[in-house]
Structure 1
């Protein structure tokens, strides 16, 4: 290191996971750089973005003969990332067993990772919208007694809070009011509001912009989600980082937004599995929001009509047997705005219906009556495509994917067979590929088939204006094009659709004003799943779907008929449907938590998965078995309180010609599990490089997994 570069900067980089490089690399610089500074540094033959990190060794002498490569440039004009942000990244990396640099760089906008200092300087010179206090007063909607009680509790208590409000109870208005009061009380304060899916951000953004832009300026509200272009994401990130943006709306990635003035975090639909990242660092944005709020002194508000059982348990009130209760404060809003009634649940016993019937006669009659009155209906089936599989009657051939242990789904619209796991697509054969028989049939049903059959069944049904009934479908296949989802939702809101068919995309968060009937046609599959969380997810989905009906109390009063939720099931007396009929989440949660406690399942225990991907199933399981044996041989810390289960194949064990196996770890102590995982990481790394495990492609750790 030359005399002209007397300083050493420790830099976090996104280095390859298999490289064995440590969390921080040292570079030479000619001046001390504060932690959090963004820099361009050489790495191999490339120049990459890095973040100067905290270290006690900012200066010092290198061993004789050692040299350091110099930092390539500093991204001037972007303030250093503050200590709370760096602590959040460090905690995430540590807890979810990932490299520090991987988490830090993934949390930054992609374009920031690609821009050189001079390019960024030009970008920063462009005029940007600013959040100015225009002084216009906000016209507040009068709160109900329940909303006012919740708002007052949030103001006067530290939290975290669980806002348990039925669908249509006005949770969003509580969020808006809390954000407003916080922004008005502190001119530097910022709020983070998260939703589980991209398709829910436009309508939320519309409400926040219309409420706050007149008061705080056009740039006060920005969005952050993966559906935005890279320049859009960079613009939003810079606005939040500089404090110009007062409110950030986003999906799970927004939990890492740099918000130096953060004072409030809202996690809407907190139960939703979409808050759990399923690639790379498998973090839970909801759980990180709780941690970040505590660390940064920000209040955290979780909201849901069907809270996750973890959050419900964490918000339990004190009792004589449990005097401390949970860590969260539970706020209850059971009533719908405008005295609207919750949907009446009607169960249809499909054992009493004709075999192979898709729509029972009573449900079809109910939909017909709604169309004739000008009302809208929604039909839910959580499986896209036309049919899950094609089948040859003569030889038994099925449309299996050649690269995965799964079927290729039949899509009738474009006459393709498509694997929803690896994406492999082929044209539908005219004859059986095995025996040549032309007698090939679709087995099972998807939303595409449902849309087609409903359109045929309703072809003679007329709307009040004399036109034929109109059926539309919203799922991942119909919303691929940019702007397609917004256009389709606009048609529903405008009353141009009489029956909406779709997957769970349409069941969450949408404020449809004229839907008076919701039907779930094939929900039974989740009742007998091997995943212990399946009943919880099904109940939440059906409750959320039921909440789409009857949201406009004035409209329902004018129609004079109750809103309804129809469930077609072969198990009408199942406890899930019994609780749904009564809209009794509390009873459902109590029963589920009792079962979980008896079985020592989360939230009464803590879990992690280690997954191995390999060329053969034997190689995948062999790696996991060897790593387990090494853990026992080393008597790793925490192991005495951790149960290691044998490795097993995943349910879909082969995807894209890669075999997948996993093993589960469980412990009554979160701390013991974390100690064990931290100590096990080097052993997993060493085992991975053992010549005996040449077939191994990759391995990963999933802490607090949602699917097993």
Structure 2
């Protein structure tokens, strides 16, 4: 019998496949997970090719150590998607394929446990009634176990053991009493697909004419079609997603759908909406995929999608690379959001990969947003995407809020007092809402108490010893914290330079605004939601639940509260410190600011209450604010695209960014200058513009100095050819700690 060889992709910077002898009794199949020796250790890889011979000398070839037989191979379509991403983003295939798998799958020692039959315990109606009274008064561990059963659809045996050391024996006792049932699920078995009702339930909301047209267009799409669903805030884009998915899943009994959201904190409300609408599906047919899940849960959800058990996969950007063998539709909600661009490792755009994946499979993709990215808007202008418009809110008596600008300079000239950055008109408006029992929202995209701590006697400003950045004052924790490297220290009692005890915070963050509102609006229940207040798992969901329940009068927060949330009682939105983005060096800053302001404005007046947005600014005549006041995204987009065309900026050119990190700034800049010189050897580089190497805005992070080199071209093909030929030359250069190449950068 002739030998068989496999070429395996490994998570390694070298863009090559590694040859191994196939010694397993089963036939080698492309897409299989294997454990192979690599150096002095064993690592998990993915079989990408099967061959009858190898160019590697026989004495250097090693055998495949083990094969993951319990996990079916990934499909050829998935491998083709990973290959495209590797080629386009200039990475090795293994650097794309392996990180796309759950961490638990990349550990061969866990394979047997991971795919073992799953034991699930469910609470019966009798148990729900009897169990609370049957527990001993001080049995806290048993109470936690009972509470977990009551709150979840099912409880896994492993999770039960984590709650109580004798959980399984207790659950067997409860089973004997008829309070709990046990299900054993074969992880590798794919159940028959649950059919959906042919007609929607009568309780569903009535669609507007625009919503009905959008659903019809998506439902009737034949093969690949890219839809840009441009709907104002509150126009019912989620309802369009739900109806379109219901139609496609009902037409194809084994079809799967992928729904992407930009942030983890948006997944609970989306999951609740999808579970309520698709109640006919088994509980395991709707799964989530995001980095906030425990390793085991993420692996189980990924496997449910991979085997076809999951009909709907809801997740953040990493879910775009999930294995879905029967994928029939993709939805990208808030498609403009920068969170869809990965900023570490493989620097991919989940939105762009979703579009490619839909085209690859010949299925529709829906890009939804109230403020689409200018790239997507331009594609629609060119006819490559079909634009679907929802121009009014879905609730009959709900209208877009009135936007009013508060001129801070005029307030100062008139001698009108403000309290810690909150103007008089804004405070008065919040008091009026409090009296009417309505909610207010204050948006400030800066967390912490104050961005700086300074001494006015000598000019000292507290800085990070490891970064070229100021540290942020966090008053509740009595700490100074660097938001770039995490360095933290106690607040000094006096200036370390001159000894002055009157050091004071400069600027305002959400913590300071929260504190100020406590005294400025007496009696108001103030809640802050930002990255600091939602560190614990599940805390964001709990805080948002308090807002929805009406237990909060004024909500203060960062961009976490700006999009996707349906606050029924919010009638006032106040915007602080928006002017800083107007004069940024980043050409995308105005686009991001307009999107943020449009999104946060849309939180007001969603349930029929008259909505008002108050924006504090020193530049009330700025064109961006005038477009915001008219809710005129179309005018803003067209004007900004005209500016981009004149300035030869994306989407009219294509860019790539080479970043270098060195022990000194001189070393990083020298590396980039050598890299620029190497371009002269590449013929395709004649059509590429190369800019000077420059330091990053934050030059030093964790004692590492950073610089960047931008190249661009009007031809995507010329840029890609240049990058492909440039990579081997870059690997030959020395002198820096590390370098990275990013295609289609968002932050320059």
What interval of TM-score do these two structures reach, taking the shorter chain for normalisation? Answer: over 0.9
1:107-141: CA deviation from partner (whole Å, max 9, x where unpaired): 00011111337525653565349675276675243
What is aligned with 1:594? Answer: 642
> 1:271 touches 1:304 (CA, 8 Å); kept in 2?
yes
For residues 326 and 91 of structure 2, what CA distance do their matches in structure 1 show? Answer: 27
Instruction: Using structure 1 for the length normalisation, give the TM-score.
Output: 0.92
Q: Aligned-pair distance for 1:338? A: 2.0
Secondary structure of 1:338's counterpart equals coil
Instruction: Give the corresponding residue for 2:40.
Output: 45
Aligned-partner Cα distance in 1 for 2:113–2:255 = 26
Note the C-alpha offset of 1:62. Answer: 5.6
Match of 1:367 in 2: 430
2:411 equivalent in structure 1: 353
Q: Which residue of 2 aligns with 1:333?
A: 390
Cα separation, partners in 2 of 1:432 and 1:256, compared to 1, 3 Å = same
Give 2:236's aligned residue.
170
The DSSP-based 3-state class of the residue aligned with 2:225 is coil
Contact 2:510–2:557 (CA<8 Å) still a contact in 1?
yes
Distance in 1 separating the partners of 2:621 and 2:55: 73
User: In 2, distance between residues paired with 1:569 and 1:116?
Assistant: 58
Partners of 1:518 and 1:565 within 8 A in 2: yes
> Superposition pairs for residues 55-66 of structure 1, below 5 Å?
58-60=51-53, 66=59
Aligned mates of 1:282, 1:239 — CA distance in 2: 27
Query: What's the counterpart of residue 214 of structure 2?
Result: 150
Check if 1:314 corresponds to 2:379.
yes
Match of residue 533 from structure 1 = 588
Conservation of the 8 A alpha-carbon contact between 1:169 and 1:333: yes
Deviation, 1:61, is: 5.8
**Which residue of 1 is the match for residue 469 of structure 2?**
406
Q: Show CA shifts across 1:645-692 (max 9, x none).
A: 01000000111110000011111011100000000000100013xxxx
- Would you say the 8 A contact 2:35–2:108 is kept in 1? no
Q: Tell me: CA distance 1:62–1:275, structure 2 relative to 1, closer, same or farther (3 Å).
A: closer
Q: Is 1:85 matched up with 2:78?
A: yes
Q: Secondary structure at the match of 1:363?
A: helix
Q: Does 1:206 align with 2:254?
A: no
- Greater Cα shift, 406-415 or 41-50: 41-50
Give, in whole Å, the separation in 2 of the partners of 1:665 and 1:44: 37
Report the secondary structure of 1:315's partner residue: helix
Tell whether 2:629 aligns with 1:581: yes
- C-alpha distance in 2 between matches for 1:492 and 1:97: 44
CA RMSD in angstroms, aligned pairs only: 1.6
Match of 1:542 among 570, 574, 597: 597
CA–CA distance in structure 1, aligned partners of residues 110 and 611 of structure 2? 58
- Cα deviation for residue 219 of structure 1 reads 1.4
Q: Which residue of 2 aligns with 1:702?
A: 742
Q: How far apart are residue 220 of structure 1 and its match?
A: 1.2
- Map residues 247-258 of structure 1 onto 2, 5 A cutoff: 247-258=312-323
Query: In the TM superposition, what are the counterparts of 1:476-487 in structure 2 within 5 Å?
Result: 476-487=531-542
- Tell me, yes or no, if the aligned pair for 1:273 and 1:706 is still in contact at 8 Å: yes
Q: What is the distance in 2 between the residues matched to 1:649 and 1:421? A: 16
Distance 1:27 1:450, change over 3 A: same
Check 1:671–1:62 CA distance in 2 against 1; reply closer, same or farther (3 A cut). closer
- Aligned counterpart for 2:252 among listed residues 186, 195, 199: 186
SS in 1 for 2:499: coil
Pair 1:641–1:64, CA change in 2 (3 A): closer
Find the counterpart in structure 2 of residue 389 from structure 1.
452
Deviations 1:150-208 (A, max 9, x none): 11122233420000000000000000011111111011110000000000000000011
Contact preservation (8 Å) 1:131, 1:245 = no
The 5 A counterparts of 1:409-428 are 409-428=472-491
- Which residue does 2:703 correspond to in 1? 657
Q: Partner of 1:337: helix, strand, or coil?
A: coil
Change (3 A) 1:138 1:153: closer
CA contact (8 A) 2:105 2:111 kept: no
Unaligned 5+ runs, structure 1: 317-324, 460-467, 557-561
Match of 2:338 in 1: 273
C-alpha separation between the residues in 1 aligned to 2:272 and 2:691?
A: 48
Alpha-carbon distance in structure 2 between the residues aligned to 1:125 and 1:42: 30
Change (3 A) 1:90 1:390: same
Aligned length: 667
Aligned counterparts of 1:142 and 1:189: Cα–Cα separation in 2: 26
Contact 2:70–2:115 under 8 Å retained in 1:
no
Distance of 1:125 and 1:616 partners within structure 2: 53
Secondary structure of 1:111's aligned partner: helix
CA contact (8 A) 1:404 1:656 kept: yes
Q: Counterparts of 1:347 and 1:664 in 2: how far apart (Å)?
A: 38
Secondary structure, aligned partner of 2:674: helix
